[in-house]
Each structure stands twice: as C-alpha cells, then as structure tokens.
Homo-oligomer: A and B are copies of this chain.
C-alpha cells in the first residue's frame, strides 16, 4: 500500500510528546514532509500543509480546530479524553473536511476485534476467555481494550483476567475452547510505533476522501487500491 502513495506535506500538533515524536518519525520514513509544527508555546509554520495530525491533549483541541479550518485540510486526531462538546465540534468540522478519530490506532487490535467476533459466530457454544497483560503502573483493571473485546462478543458473561507485569506495553488474548481444541488470538503491542503506524495509515487513507467522520476501523477495513 505505502508504495503507491504520493508523498504529501503535513502539519503535526503535539510533536513534542511521546506519540508525537514517534508519529513524526513514521511520517518522515514514509517520505512525507513536515511543514507545520505546534505545541505548547512553540509554533513553526513553514507553509500550508495538505493534512493535519493531532497527537496532543484536549487543552490544545481548540487550536487544532482553528488550524484545520484555516487550511481546510483533512484531519487525523489521536487525542484521548475529548469532552462531549469537543466531540460535537469534531462532528461539525467533519462536514467541511474528512476527519479520522480514534482512541486506539493499533491495526492489530482492530483485526483481533474482527476475528474474535467472527469466531464466536462460528462456534457460539465454545467457552471464551479474555486475558490482558500490562505494566505494573496501569491502575485500571481490566484494560479499555479488553472491554472493547468483550463488547464485540454476543456472550455477555465473558471472564477477563488482568495481569500486571514489569513494563509490558500491552498484550491482549481471546481464547475459544471447544471439546478437544482451543483457538487463541493474541495481540502484542511491542512499542508505541504501532500507534504511529496507525496514524500514518489513517493520514494516507483520508487524504483523498470527501468530508465525513471516519473511525480507525474504516481505515483498517477499507478496500485497498
């Protein structure tokens, strides 16, 4: 896919954060050019970008919207913790430009969600177990992603086991057990790079789209070509 892609010029909001830095790296390696950078007290606009990416915080949201409107370009937003009001603004914005919004830009997790739902449909009578492993500092149990897995299943009483180990970035497993066999689907996030790749994929997807609000699921499962 990446091979067919024309390179483009992009703006990056929150380029100083950990996800921002990783995103910058991924875009650079893909041949795209950074023309606008913004964070806290820093603003550097070389020229008008073809697309804007936001890896920032809800506090910066207003500024991001302003920049997207100013250049009237596609927008990919990875900011977590948006308020309902901000979401409404995003919807409004998506009437004039194409927008991709997601709280989790991992392609693999999207695939796992799809495969888990499909598997349950084929063997609805099999047992299901979800397991998630994260670093010891993660306070919430179970993880949001484990709950997303549970949500795509029809069975409603699925057990989730939560493990806390060292500084594991995030491992999610869903197992289906029949008599005489077990089928297991596991996703390992080995680095933040996976999210940067998802943002890149979203940018390359949306740059040619018409206005509208897209999810990362739309990006992952869109037809190639």
Contacts and interface: CB of A to CB of B under 8 A. Distances in A.
Interface of A: 1-2, 106-108, 111-112, 114-115, 118-119, 122-127, 129, 131, 133, 136, 159, 161-169, 175-197, 220-221, 224
Given A111-B119, A221-B122, A182 B168 contact: yes
Contact of A181 (B159, B161, B175, B189): B189
By DSSP majority rule, is chain A's interface helix, strand, loop, or mixed? mixed
Given A127-B166, A180-B190, 9 more contacts: A114-B118, A127-B164, A129-B164, A165-B176, A166-B181, A167-B190, A169-B190, A181-B194, A185-B185
Contact of A224 (B124, B184, B224): B124
Given A177-B136, A180-B195, A159 B163 contact: yes
A129 B129 CA distance: 17
A189 B194 contact: no
A136 B165 CA distance: 26
Given A115-B119, A118-B115, A124-B224, A175 B165 contact: yes
Given A1-B125, A115-B115, A115-B118, A107 B161 contact: no
Contacts of A180: 106, 166-167, 189-197
A108 B180 CA distance: 10
A179 B197 contact: yes
